[in-house]
Structure 1
Amino acid sequence: MQPKSNVHVVPLAPEHREDWERLFAGYAAFYKVAQTPQMRERVWHWIFDPDHEAEAIVALDDAGRAIGLAHYQAFARPLGANTACFLNDLFVDPQARGSGAAEALMVALQEICRQRDWAVIRWLTAEDNYRARAFYDRIGRKTPFLAYQIDV
């Protein structure tokens, strides 16, 4: 998979804060999740805390504006005796959809995984997120596993 645009992907940095806030709030709104500025502040600090597993990359347009984000983290896979990447969040500004930002983020994440010797990238999406699913069907494969959750 090769990105087909001039979108440039970089690690999230302090200068991206305003764009990241806008994108992350847009992601929460897309999934109809109530998100407060305090919640975004907590996640921002996680990303920059070297002792926390959360990491992030952003896709920048030609003007240097962040138009997409990906939050990810390592997770252990005991059955395979390896480490993998869990893609927590992938979001592209609706105005930038079709720009190649999502593909550029996934290509960059694949390279990060290769550098770290992580075996796979795994993620979830909503069943009715048809646009994202069309992209995911093109770049990855659906697993035979179902996701379950217990709220505590």
Structure 2
Amino acid sequence: MSKEAPELSVTIRPPRPSDRAEWQALWRQYLAFYETELPDQVYDTTFARLLGDDPRDFNCLLAEVAGKPVGLTHYLFHRHAWKEAEVCYLQDLFAAPELRGRGIGRALIEAVYAAADAEGAPTVYWLTQEYNHTARDLYDRIGVLTPFIKYQRG
């Protein structure tokens, strides 16, 4: 039986303009996992929005190990018809494959939880693919699986 790799010393921080290339490389890997490619213009627009101050836009946090971004999360706050408080949707979460299982995903989710608490949004939710077993092992430890099934316009 192999020993689990030790957790890393992870710093969580918002992106800076100088993070563009590393952020894009991480997000491109995330999208590739979900068999998705986007045109360069979407990367340009998304990164500009992440650095902007429009409250309708997504927020971003980067996980850094030894001064290098190795993970990211994108999340946003929105109103919910069933609640007075806003809710937080965690859309993207990614950790470099070679560092998975070492605390990066957990640190990013916990940072989103803290951001949601600071904004008065007690609910944080996210989606994942059924087959994403590695991520689901973490999600089962720090979240609650709901019975909802996602549909979208065809």
Is TM (by shorter chain) over 0.5? yes
> Number of residue pairs matched?
147
2:14 matched to which residue of 1?
11
Residue 117 of structure 2 corresponds to residue 150 of structure 1: no
1:138 is displaced (CA, Å) by: 0.8
Mapping for residues 80-91 of structure 1, pairs under 5 Å: 80-91=83-94
2:28 matched to which residue of 1?
25
1:20 is displaced (CA, Å) by: 0.4
1:60 matched to which residue of 2?
64
Mapping for residues 26-41 of structure 1, pairs under 5 Å: 26-41=29-44
Asked whether the equivalents of residues 78 and 87 of structure 2 are also in contact (C-alpha less than 8 Å), the reply is yes
1:95 is displaced (CA, Å) by: 1.6
CA deviations on 1:51-102 (whole Å, 9 max, x unpaired) are 242110000002x110000000001112122211100100111122122111
1:146 is displaced (CA, Å) by: 1.4
Residue type of the partner of 1:30? F
Inter-partner Cα distance in structure 1 for 2:132 and 2:19:
27
Residue type of the partner of 2:17? P
Misfit runs of 4+, over 6 Å: none
Output the TM-score relative to the length of structure 2.
0.90
2:130 aligned to 121, 127, 130, which one? 127
1:113 matched to which residue of 2?
116
Indicate the SS of the match to 2:63. Answer: strand
Residue type of the partner of 2:141? R
Identity of aligned residues (%): 32
Inter-partner Cα distance in structure 2 for 1:49 and 1:16:
14
